[in-house]
Chain A
Amino acid sequence: MATSAISEPKLMLTLPGDAIRQIQWRFADRFDLQMLVQSARGVARGPVAQMVAAGERNSHEWTPAKNEMLLTFDRAGITAAFMEPEEGGFISGPKNLALSLAAFELSWVDGGAATASLAGFLALAPIHERGTAEQAQRYMSLSAPPQPGEDRKPWRGAFVLTEPIPYVGVDTGMLSGKVRIAEWKDGSEPMLQVDKRGRFITNIAFANFVTAAVNSDDERIKSSCVIILEDTDEGTFDHGTATKKLVHQLSSTGDPIFNLKVPASRIVGGYTVKDGVIVPNFTHAEVIEAVFRRTRVTVGLMTAAKLLSAVEPVIRYQRGRFRGAEGAKPGTVRYEQGIQQREDALHRLVDVWATGEAAASLGFAAARLFDELDPIEKQKTAILAERGVTGGRAELKALRDSEQRAIELLSLRADDPRHAELAADPLVQFVLKDAEANVLCPATKLWNTGHGANMMREAVSLMGGYGITEDCPGFLASKWMDAQLEATYEGPEAVQRRQLTVTMTSEVFLAQLRAWKREMRHIATTHPGTGACTLASAIEMWLWTLHYLQNATDASGGRLYHGQRQGVTFPMADALCWLLASRTQILDVLELEARGASDAVAAEGLEGTVQFLSDLCHTQAAQAAGEVSRICAELVFGYREHPGWDGIGCSTCFSADELEAFEETMPGISAMATDVVAIDGAHPDKAGPCAACTGANDFLRLQNRLCSCLSGSRLAKDRAAETVSKVMIPEALDYPA
């Protein structure tokens, strides 16, 4: 009798290497970025790791060794990665992906080192995004590392926004820092007096200049601005005391004080004088928005790096756990597999790994998106300026038509003649990418760092007691705690959720999300093992729930979805992040599958690698679906009053005698009735009659479908676990512990 053979699943041979990652994260054809990655990796796993291993994190102060780290960054090209070639850099064009990759590599070993590199960029970012040409030229050139043969110390900068409580922090609108006019002689430039106290300011111990957010304290200066202060300016430039933080100790953090007299030309982006009033071209809020919407992505990727960096040390620990014991002789399962004999150890590591993959995919997708958005944004500004449209509100109004065109584009098939016309419209392109970026940036920051910190705890737990010691390979305990700071700085979780509350309900984004749902269903037809169908069902549930919440009221008649009702809006933001991360993870695996074969290194064992990464996608999609289902169910039903055993609540209950009468005509009905009240008022032991699902039948149908969609996800996890137990890892970690 003929039998069909079941083919053995292909296993991933080794941990994913550079060839795989370059394809997944779309820099296989960017040798400038590949070099930056190697350079940053050399610094991270060399000098930085040695510093951490030597206990350099044990002090809050800025030490010579920490200072040497900055010089190492300079020499390795990390500092120059932010600059254009004419400013001393080596990468042309947008650099969001470049900086993300550098931070990812540094954070693989130490988040503080990554922060130290990023903080310099953060100081320059206001100037880069909104500064005048003169400001950009001066501060970029001064901050560029010296070229060979140049004898010059590069300037270091700090971004000074946060202030002592109760001022600017979570709410960037409450500024106590002030600017007023010190001198304004006829025909000469006004001199400004700046008073600002900072709190938790990174890079401050050695900063030569800062970009500080201040409010006007003078009727001759309008609103607020970001202003550049130098340590040689007249007055006080006090670097302050070091913050006694328990994390990221390789970066300098302190509380500075500034009381300085500076020329008005230091206002970032310049100013105009109208009716005797200095009007900054950009308020501090406008500058900050332009800066943070980019830099927050990088922070999210720092936590992603930690999660993926935990995989190798955990596997090594698990496998070698019993070696050396009397009962664990070479060749025995106990010797060879150690704790990996146990399914739980493998499954938990699969969860950590899947989260890391999803977080990296989400972060790098966001970074790439900003690289695409940057030139289009400039094009948009130029087009609107040509039409005489400038300024925030006027631009928003002018773009409304483009928004409708963008929504129309998303509804068209690719072969529709109008599709090409709309897709070629730069304003439509801007509107689409802007809407996506407005969601992906806070989502990356929120989910990667928040959920990432939770999963880092899981990674630490997989190392047992070893995990919380200084000896733990991979510095996992430090990374766990560092992740908490990453969840906090550059806008804590509440800020990201609040931003998502607004941006995720934009018409353009929702149209995109609907298109992504269709995209996932389509992918599922060819790649059912990725969990794309599960994800599509979860997106559908999220969309249904949002629509429901936007139109429904609670038991008291209060609107459910509005800005102040964070019990509703924030969980929906959380749920969306899971979906976005899972989608980008799936897309990255498809990219690898499509392009991997043409790369000789990636092609080796590609089938097994794609299978494993697909299994991680499926696992992650199931987790995302579970989260979405839980959150949505809670929101849909949680604001309804549970019926009680009183008159109104009991209106749908059977009374015992009534049921007895029905039984004569409908035998067996008693068995179906759950809420029965006896003549004496006695009722079953529970809170009340079961709640009706009026208006939510569609939700239950979606939820039912979603449950079925989980089919296969645990099989995928089992397969992934098998790979984790067999994948080849290096003999030793490539950085000291």
Chain B
Amino acid sequence: MSTTYQIVVCAGIVPDPLQSLEPVTGPNGPGLKNEMVLPAVLDPWAASALYEAAHLAAKLPGSKLWLVSLGPKAKLQQVMMTIAQKVAFELVPIDGPIGGFTDAHATAAALADAIAALPGLDRTRLLLFGGWESASRGAGITLQLVGERLGITDQFQGVDQIDVREDGSFEVLERVEGGKHQVSTCAGAPAVLGWATGCLAEPRNNPQVGMANMRTLMPALQKAKPATLAANGLQYVDVHLPSQQRTTRVERDMTPEDIARELVAWIGAE
């Protein structure tokens, strides 16, 4: 297959979902308590996009893969110690604020500018990947906005699979209601693909891959351009976690079947 792509994955970092995430309001608006010191991970949906991109690039020799990530570079560096071991890519870090409460337009502008400035970028071969959701407060529009700014109008969201054909066109599976997929065919790049979970397992860590990535990754982090994201008049009236309620009831004589039945009924009623 002679098709080659230039794949750019937009991926942010988010606090490890196991951490205690407590919304607080600071001088710059809402955020998470102690967010800077909480361990971070690559946003899980975007991580799926990265693994799919690496898989695709490996299948199509000659393809190139960039990871564009906006976050505090010290935290990006910490996350890269894991991510860089999984797949080969070139990092384009943008040193900006962390958190899920930044304005999606400002974020998209910073990402689009960084992508547009990639040396050797051929937009006719560009596939823009990212997550269709986010483990932080996902605005749900950032990736679309980046695509719009780059003039890419073929956009797919909730993607689980891409199959590239001999002629350079590709078939995309997008999630729709009822656990089904919508099948679309796209004539070719450029296109935006917002990934759901994809269909690949998380690649295992391979320090050899990591060491190879580090040759370009550490200098890139040192040279990361700072970005300040304007609020653009965005204001949050209220921020809170979904409410949780614990209801304990002691039952001595219920059978497991009865317990299961009641649980199913309770979940269904929610």
Contacts and interface: CB of A to CB of B under 8 A. Distances in A.
Interface stretch (B48-56, B74-82, B123-131): B74-82
A81 B208 CA distance: 11
Contacts of A13: 34, 37
Given A17-B39, A600-B74, 15 more contacts: A31-B214, A35-B82, A35-B207, A37-B81, A38-B82, A38-B85, A39-B82, A42-B82, A42-B205, A76-B207, A323-B246, A601-B74, A605-B37, A728-B33, A733-B18
A371 B16 CA distance: 33
Given A14-B34, A731-B20, A35 B248 contact: no
Contact of B16 (A600, A605, A730): A730
Interface string B47-80: 0000000000000000000000000111100100
Interface string A34-59: 11111100100000000000000000
Nearest to A600: B74
B260 interface: no
17 contacts: A18-B39, A32-B207, A35-B84, A38-B85, A38-B205, A39-B82, A42-B82, A72-B204, A76-B206, A77-B208, A80-B208, A600-B36, A600-B75, A728-B20, A728-B34, A730-B18, A733-B18
Given A77-B206, A731-B18, A601 B84 contact: no
B207 A77 contact: yes
A364 B72 CA distance: 29
B81 A35 contact: yes
Interface residues of A, number: 36
Contacts of B34: 13-14, 604-605, 728
A324 B246 contact: yes
A734 B81 contact: no
B37 A14 contact: yes
Contacts of B208: 77, 80, 90, 147
Interface of A: 13-14, 17-19, 31-32, 34-39, 42, 72, 75-77, 80-81, 90, 147, 323-324, 599-601, 604-605, 728-734
Contacts of A604: 34, 36-37
B37 A601 contact: yes
B74 A599 contact: yes
B230 interface: no
A604 B33 CA distance: 12
A391 to B, nearest CB: 39
A81 B74 CA distance: 25
Contacts of B218: 31
Contacts of B21: 731
A706 B218 CA distance: 49
B85 A39 contact: yes
A609 to B, nearest CB: 9
A689 to B, nearest CB: 62
A731 B39 CA distance: 13
Contacts of B205: 35, 38-39, 42, 75-77
Contact of A19 (B73, B78, B84): B78
B38 interface: yes
A600 B221 CA distance: 13
A75 B206 contact: yes
A24 B33 CA distance: 24
A13 B21 CA distance: 13
Contacts of B100: none
Contact of A76 (B18, B72, B204): B204
- Which of A72, A80, A729, A731 has the most B CB atoms < 10 Å from its CB? A731
B211 interface: yes
A31 B81 contact: yes
Nearest to A16: B37
A14 B214 CA distance: 29
Contacts of A31: 81, 214, 218
A734 B18 contact: yes
Contacts of A18: 39, 78, 81
A35 B204 CA distance: 13
Contacts of B37: 13-14, 17, 19, 601, 604-605
